[in-house]
Amino acid sequence: MNQPISSSTSLAAILELFALPFSDLLFRAQQTHRQHFDPNAIQCSTLLSIKTGACPEDCGYCAQSVHHHAELAITPLMPLEEVVETARAAREQGARRFCMGAAWRTPHDRDLDRVADMVRAVRGLGMETCVTLGMLREDQAETLREAGLDYYNHNLDTSPEFYGQVIHSRGYQDRLDTLDAVRRAGIRVCCGGILGMGESRRDRARLLEMLASLPEAPESIPINALVPIPGTPMADAEPVDGIEFVRTIAVARLLFPASHVRLAAGRENMEEALQALAFLAGANSIFLGDRLLTTDNASLGQDRRLFEKLGLHPA
């Protein structure tokens, strides 16, 4: 099992990786990690919800769907100045990338121009930019690229087989089409998924297989642990087992040796030791800052202490 893993890795081979003894899997992932990255450097992005709630989609995990009953302050698209101020504060706190999320099925052109202005302004602060705005056509992606957008986040979320139990309002192929449009416009891709929605290991492996079968590997791969939100259909989902979560990170590291693998949402509910294992397994990116989109993140103070304990530094 020491041959390199290519992007055409089959489901069977991915499942074999998942089934390795934990220490062997982590050792291999750590070896791969060290061949491509400084193992103690963690890429830090900060999230901001620039338009919150009232989303017509029905993603079962999400607080922002109009179909669910989460407690949420619905807000229209934020003014440019407020976005820039928040980005500046994030930069002071150590974030290199600023990610702006909007609860849209797809952006209206008028709104897209406003987001393009935000991208220009945040880039003007010397930060990398990422946005996640729902489905995108290629001409819309080009508008964002011309504004200087570095990354577009659009997740496959789960396997094609489990997807229908999570989302009904937009198909798997719609997501692949958006990823294609973003790629063709020359924007880097941030694409991953969520664990802990009731999916099986096979679904987790299939998600990674789908990511590996994209024409180019995503540069950034967020692995979220479901943040269970009261009022959503997944409020009471059984949390994913911690060791299984770390295994998924390790397999992602092996399949995508040169990508940033993000230990994304869900850190607030994770022990430090579990996060440390995830870093050992090859996670080298986090969301930094007290808030994700609509929920709390691990606090800045907690993260400072964790970085110090583990000898990590932001990159």
Catalytic residue among 130, 183, 204, 253: 130
Quick check: 61 binds ligand SAM (CB under 6 A)? yes
Ramachandran region, residue 148 (left: φ > 0; alpha: ψ -120 to 50; beta: rest): left
Which residues 260-279 are close enough to bind ligand SAM by CB under 6 A? 265
Separation between Cα atoms, residue 59 and residue 104, nearest integer Å: 12
DSSP string, 123-144: HHTT-EEEEE-S---HHHHHHH
Taking the least distance from each CB to ligand SAM, the nearer of 28 and 175 is: 175
- Among ligand SF4, ligand SAM, ligand DTB, none, the one that 65 touches (CB under a kind-dependent 5 to 8 A) is ligand SF4
Of these residues, 114, 190, 206, 247, which one is catalytic?
A: 190
Do 117 and 98 form a contact (C-beta atoms < 8 A)?
Answer: no
The residues in 80-119 that bind ligand SF4, with binding defined as CB under 6 A, are 103
Q: How far apart are CA 234 and CA 68, in angstroms?
A: 10
Closest to 283 in 3D by CA, of 305, 306, 300: 306
Binding flag, residue 107, ligand SAM (CB under 6 A): no
Among 43, 45, 64, 159, indicate the residue that binds ligand SF4 (CB under 6 A). Answer: 64
226 binds, among ligand DTB, ligand SF4, ligand SAM, none (CB under 5 to 8 A by kind): ligand SAM
The alpha helices in 40-171, defined as continuous H runs, are 80-92, 109-124, 138-146, 160-163
H runs (alpha helix) in the chain: 11-18, 22-36, 80-92, 109-124, 138-146, 160-163, 172-184, 201-212, 242-255, 272-280, 300-310
Q: Which of 62, 83, 156, 212 binds ligand SF4 (CB under 6 A)?
A: 62
What's the gap between Cα 90 and its chain centre?
18
**In this chain, which stretch among 34-42, 138-146, 176-184, 293-301 interacts with ligand DTB, using CB under 6 A?**
293-301
- Contacting residue, 153, 178, 220, 248, with ligand DTB by CB under 6 A: 153
**191 noted as active-site residue:** no
Q: Which of 63, 83, 127, 286 binds ligand DTB (CB under 6 A)?
A: 63
Please state the closest distance from residue 209 (CB atom) to ligand SAM, in A: 18
Minimum separation from the CB atom of position 158 to ligand SF4 (A)? 12
In the three-class reduction of DSSP (H, G, I as helix; E, B as strand; rest coil), residue 188 is classed as: strand
Kindly state the tokens that stand for 284.
């080298």
**Strand-pair partners of 194:** 224
Q: What tokens appear for 139 in the block? A: 């001409």
Residue 229 binds ligand SAM (CB under 6 A): yes
3-class DSSP assignment, residue 161? helix
- Of the candidate residues 60, 94, 107, 134, the single one contacting ligand SAM (CB under 6 A): 134
For residue 107, how far is the Cα from the chain centroid? 20
Specify the DSSP element, H or E, that contains 265: none
Round to whole Å and give the CA distance between 159 and 71: 29
Does the active-site annotation cover 44? no
Summarize as ranges the residues that interact with ligand SAM (CB under 6 A): 55, 61-62, 101, 103-104, 132, 134, 154-155, 157, 194, 224, 226-227, 229, 265, 293
Return residues touching ligand SF4 (CB under 6 A): 55, 57, 59, 62, 64-65, 103, 134
Footprint of ligand DTB (CB under 6 A): 47, 63, 101, 132, 153, 155, 192, 222, 224, 227, 264-265, 292-295
